[in-house]
Structure 1
Amino acid sequence: MAARPAQRFLPGLRRAGQVIARVGDSGNPTEPHLHFQLVDGPDPDTARGVPFTWRGIGVPRNGEVFDVPEPAPTTPA
């Protein structure tokens, strides 16, 4: 799967547990993986990173591999 352009997720448009991406392995990776970034504004030159933790996991150490539990079922929009 090719990389997609950045998507905007405005407050209230997504619910906890809703799928926002799928993990892939395009290119030459050693494992399927996902890159994402949370920022506080639309301008990449002025936006600052927003802290993120995995619910029930916290912040993994650099290089740490962990399993994320299956998301809660959601109803299609």
Structure 2
Amino acid sequence: MKQNDIAALVLIVAIAGIITYFVAGAVIGSPKNNPVQVEKVTPISSNFSEPDDRIFNEQSIDATVEIQGSGESTDNVFAN
């Protein structure tokens, strides 16, 4: 490459860099000094209330117990 070609390349890269800097500044913008409003969070307590007796009671169904069928086996399960 000739010296003029290198100088032209450097000039083009410099102009492209300056244009990119201003375009990126316009698109992204600068950070504003406005504080952000956030909602306050209530702290987590280690105290738990008792569960509702309508749901958790002695007569309710225990989902962890294995349910056994009648013990009959058949080859045709979906027959009438």
The structure whose residues are more often helix, as a share, is 2
Superposed pair shares fold, TM > 0.5 = no
Flag the structure with larger Rg: 2
TM-score normalised per structure 1: 0.15
**Greater RCO (Cα-Cα under 8 Å, separation 6 or more):** 1
TM-score normalised per structure 2: 0.14
